[in-house]
Structure 1
Amino acid sequence: MIIGATTDPSRYAYLAAQMLTSYGHEIVPVGIKTGTVSGAEIRDIRQRPVIEGVDTVTLYIGPQRQPEWYDYILGLKPRRIIFNPGTENETFEKMAEDRGVEALHACTLVLLRSRQY
């Protein structure tokens, strides 16, 4: 799941969607933007879409915008949350870890390229 998904090819969230699909990963793009990225429709986060079986959430929204989505994201029960550069958030990371969710400071693009994703 990509939170902060966009159709803007200059954004890292867009590049992550492209790269995840090229590496064979299914994506669920979620954000406030509308449109399609890597063949998947961006779901409106404001609707808090129910998504089952989320393994990884990769964040592309800054820490100042995250608090509104803490409960939603943790309610998805992901195995891990990747805090991409610029999204690091000590409060949210602790909340995730307290619920048994791995909080990882990493770059999704680097993890994919280095086969660590």
Structure 2
Amino acid sequence: MTSKTKVLVIGASPNPDRYSNVAMRLLKRHGFNVLAIGNKVASVEGLNIAVDPPMQTDIHTVTLYIRPELQQKYYEYVLALKPVRVIFNPGTENSEFADLLKKESISVTAHCTLVMLDSGTF
């Protein structure tokens, strides 16, 4: 992956104690182009959190920080983005969504984005 690889964080929070917030900052420090969707408009270290999902192209990875019951409203959106992979962070695992992604040949990973970044496996 190049340093300008686009990563979309769904469930982004301006609260620095939230894992999604830590992930956004760590992704930025690793040189990724970070996009974020949350439940309120905010900014974290220059990264904007949008409420309305932006239609983007060339999203490589979507990393989820919302529980399964909140994911359904994003199914069509994420599928339309055609990312290379979707990461289900701990507590976000969703077999229904994972199956839909796999049917579209989108890689599914159940892992922690923070651990992946720290271990060099992102």
TM-score interval, normalised by the smaller of the two chains: over 0.9
Q: Aligned pair 1:48/2:53, yes or no?
A: yes
1:82 positional shift: 0.2
Cα deviation 1:24-83 (Å, max 9, x = unaligned): 111001121211023111111xx3321111000000010011111100111111000000
1:12 positional shift: 0.3
Q: Which residue of 87, 95, 107 corresponds with 2:100?
A: 95
SS at match of 2:105: coil
More strand by share: 2
Q: Could you say which residue in structure 1 is the equivalent of 2:112?
A: 107
Q: Which residue of 2, 10, 14 corresponds with 2:21?
A: 14
Q: Return the alpha-carbon distance in structure 2 between the equivalents of residues 8 and 50 of structure 1.
A: 25
Q: Return the alpha-carbon distance in structure 2 between the equivalents of residues 21 and 99 of structure 1.
A: 28
Q: Return the alpha-carbon distance in structure 1 between the equivalents of residues 44 and 106 of structure 2.
A: 27
- How do residues 20-35 of structure 1 correspond to structure 2 at under 5 angstroms? 20-35=27-42
* Aligned alpha-carbon RMSD (Å): 0.9
Q: Which runs of 4+ in 1 moved over 4 A?
A: none
Structure 2 residues not aligned, in runs of 5+: 1-7
TM-score (norm 1): 0.95
Residue correspondences, number: 115
Q: Return the alpha-carbon distance in structure 1 between the equivalents of residues 53 and 32 of structure 2.
A: 22
Distance 1:29 1:48, change over 3 A: closer
- Say if 2:67 and 2:91, in contact at 8 Å, map to a contact too: yes
TM-score (norm 2): 0.91
Structure 1 residues not aligned, in runs of 5+: none
Q: Return the alpha-carbon distance in structure 1 between the equivalents of residues 27 and 106 of structure 2.
A: 21
1:13 positional shift: 0.2
Distance 1:39 1:103, change over 3 A: same
